[in-house]
Structures are given as structure tokens and as C-alpha cells.
Amino acid sequence: MAIVIPHRPKYRGRHRYIYYLLGDTLCLRTRPTRVADPRSPAQIAQRLKMRLASHFLSGFKPFVEQGFAPEVKENFRRVGAYHCALSHLMRNALVPEEGGMVIDTSRVCLAEGRDNPMCSPKARLEGDSLRITWEGGLPRGCREVLVGFWNRDKGESKCYNFYIQEIDGSILIRLPKDWKGNTLDIWLAPLGSGEKGRYTSVHLQFEPNASGKQNGKQPRAIPGLSGRIQDLMRAKKSRSNECKSLNPRRIRVVDVYSGVRRL
């Protein structure tokens, strides 16, 4: 016999026992020590989605943490802004191609909220800097503008915050010296105060010889934006699933009956 101790974990640990709900009954079982489960094609595709999306979005973490709002799911699990953005990217911006997947940057959303009034953004070079302009003004109550860059040739990202006092109808950004002549994807999103201060990001693609050109419907494979299923097929078919040693007479089980967990 063991004593079950209810608790409210923020993350589920890899312990000896697995707990789950079966209808209205809370069930327990021991975790298997060895797993030999060949991955199905659907599992491999899902792993590729997660790998590609998380690698791309990790460089935009400062942007999406302000651009997305945290959510509380039906099971009272709190999901942070970064994971909300990751879920949005996996659902909308990943395009299957032969042998893998590619990210269509025109579908990528780094901020979600009200309609963005920064219409038809354009970019042009001015010496060592890039000037970004748009049609329409900034929304009332806007205190800053979030700007994100993705360098397609180098597979690098950068994020900037420009306060309203620094903006005079356009934004001037000094580019790194080794970014000259590279193709850039740019996202813009104004940011105000409170929950209603978030706006959906707008995207433009800047090419040195074709400023402001947008992506087509058939995105091409680009280093850093594409992944191959073949790269994931080399994983081992079996793996060790070692668990932390716990007191067998004390089992900690998630408390699923007490409502929203207070942080």
C-alpha cells in the first residue's frame, strides 16, 4: 500500500509512475524501463515539424513573448506565449514538400491580436542601413514597434524594439556588415498596453534587387527553413527510459480536481 499525495506540478516529471484520467477515474501504472517502438511515418513527420518550427522560432523568442498572450487550456494547463506561437507556426506555416517540409515565411505570425494598421510595408537600403516604411499610422496607444529579421542566406535572426519616440513615420535599422546583399524576411507589429494592445504581425520579404517582393505560393527549400524526414530516420529504434528513484510508499499524483492552479 502506498500513500498518494496530490500536487500541482508546472511540468510533468519523468518519474516511476504514470498517472492519467480514464473517464472520471484517476489511474496509475509503472513506466516501462525499455521502449522499443518503431516510429510511424506520422510520428516522424510530427517530430520533423517540431524540430523545424522550434529551431526557427527560438531566435524570435523576445518578439513572440510580447506578441502572443498566454492561454489557459480546458484542462487548466497554462501555456506560455512562446508555445502558443510555436503551435500557430506548426499549424499554419509548415508546407509539405517531397521528402520533408519547408516553412513558408509569408504565413509565419510572430504576434497575434487586433488588425495591424501598418499596411503595405516596404524596405529600401540607405547606405549601411535599412529603412522600413508603411502606409497608415500607428494605432492609438501604441508605445513601441516590434521588428524581427530572418536572414535566409545565413539562417540567422534578430529582434528589435523601437519606442514610439524613435519613430517618425519610418524605421531606420543599421544592418550587420555581413548581411549586405542577403535576402531578408521582416515582421512588424505595434505593441500597446494591456491585452488589447497586441496586433497581428505583418510580413515583407526584402531582396537587394527586388525590394518588398513577397513569397509565392510554392516556397523553395532554404537552409534553416527546410527539413528532411531522412534526417530523423537515423534515430535508434530503442532507447533507455530510466526513471528517478522514488520512495515506493509515497506517490505524487497530479491534482486534477481542484480547479485552476495558482502560480
How does pLDDT run across 209-260, given as a tens digit for each residue?
A: 654 444 434 444 455 577 766 666 555 444 445 555 555 566 566 555 555 5
74 within a domain of the structure (yes/no): yes
Do both 7 and 99 map to the same domain? no
Is 181 within a domain?
yes
Domain span at residue 7 reads: 3-36+237-254
Q: In the predicted model, what is the mean pLDDT of the chain?
A: 79
**Using only C-alpha atoms, what is the Rg of the chain?**
23
What's the confidence (pLDDT) of residue 254?
Answer: 58
The answer on 142 and 87 residing in a single domain is yes
Q: Is residue 259 part of a domain?
A: no
Total Cβ atoms within 10 A of residue 83: 16
Residues 27 and 147 in one domain: no
Three-state DSSP at 18 gives strand
Q: Whole-prediction pTM value?
A: 0.71
Q: What is the pLDDT of residues 84-98, one digit of tens each?
A: 999 999 999 998 888
Query: What is the per-residue pLDDT for 168?
Result: 82
The whole-number average pLDDT for the span 64-90 is 88
Q: CA triplet 60, 65, 68: central angle to 5 degrees?
A: 110
CATH number at residue 217: 2.60.40.10
Residues 109 and 166 in one domain: yes
Are 163 and 65 in the same domain?
yes
Residue 261 lies in a domain: no
